[in-house]
A and B are shown apart, each in its own frame.
Chain A
Amino acid sequence: AQSVTQLDSQVPVFEEAPVELRCNYSSSVSVYLFWYVQYPNQGLQLLLKYLSGSTLVKGINGFEAEFNKSQTSFHLRKPSVHISDTAEYFCAVSGFSHDMRFGAGTRLTVKP
């Protein structure tokens, strides 16, 4: 069975600063990894996903994540955040079944 741990429940950061949201997973099988974002009053939107191939994955809105198999991590990064990036971010993992396992979420707050 897979599981996901998001190490930070809240991350405050100033506008234009870099940010890293941490995600670790555990699985006994090959995994697919995802980052979703939820803006206020909206559904979850896919930011990026790792299925195979290059370990550095680029997503929408300038976000990227790196799959590190040895450290079982899939941290999300952005070199310079904007106020509009304020949202809750979810890391998720799926394996051979369709039930996606999510972390508890990280609330990113970008301050001016």
Chain B
Amino acid sequence: EAGVTQFPSHSVIEKGQTVTLRCDPISGHDNLYWYRRVMGKEIKFLLHFVKESKQDESGMPNNRFLAERTGGTYSTLKVQPAELEDSGVYFCASSPTGGVRNEQFFGPGTRLTVL
């Protein structure tokens, strides 16, 4: 069974540009999460989808970030326009239907560098 995949693995862009990150969850997983880790700090929750609906987006830093999950399958996270402080590793995770007791399966992350 394929795990959570993320694309691209690395992205280097200039301040002011737009970047779109993609996450493909494990097939059949209704829950999809985005997290971010800024250099050396903790991994922080960004948002949670249940199927195509945003269940919780309390961790989104500002309105330059837009996440979508059309059709309830893969998800995209767009940053527009990117700022220097957006640099970090963006993780996606998925879990099956059920409560918080379920393990979240993580992808390898996308390393974003904003110059």
Contact = CB atoms under 8 A, between A and B. Distances in A.
A43 B107 contact: yes
Which residue, A32, A46, A102, has most C-beta atoms of chain B within 10 A?
Answer: A102
Contacts of A104: 40-42
| Range of interface residues on A (Cβ < 8 Å) | 20 to 34
| Range of interface residues on B (Cβ < 8 Å) | 20 to 34
Contacts of A92: 43
Interface stretch (B11-19, B64-72, B80-88, B97-105): B97-105
Interface of A: 4, 9, 32, 34, 36, 41-46, 49, 51, 90, 92, 94-105
Given A46-B103, A94-B100, A100-B104, 9 more contacts: A43-B4, A43-B91, A44-B43, A49-B103, A98-B55, A99-B45, A100-B35, A102-B43, A103-B42
6 contacts: A32-B100, A41-B108, A44-B106, A97-B100, A99-B45, A103-B42
